[in-house]
Amino acid sequence: MSIDQLWKVSDVATFLRVSRSTVYAKVAAGLIPHRRVVGQLRFVPDEIRSLVVRGA
């Protein structure tokens, strides 16, 4: 998977229909799987989709 295929915080917020600050809070709480790429948060789309399917 290339860096271009990873989602940014704003992409996750849009997908989950929450604010960016909510995404940051859920990351800090360990509720959303993420990666750090050069200090920036990035997300694997399939992992975020599976959260929705599981109802997390």
Give the mean pLDDT of the chain: 92
DSSP 8-class letter at 50: H
Residues 6+ apart with CB under 8 A from 16: 22, 23, 48, 52
CATH of the domain at 45: 1.10.1660.10
- Quote the percentage of the chain above a pLDDT of 90: 82
Q: How confident is the model at residue 54 (pLDDT cuts 50, 70, 90)?
A: confident
What is the model's pTM?
Answer: 0.87
Range of the domain at 32: 3-54
Model pLDDT, residue 26: 97
Total domains, the chain: 1
CB atoms within 10 A of CB 36: 8
Residues 15-31: b if buried by 16+ CB within 10 A, e if exposed: beeeeeeebeebbeeee
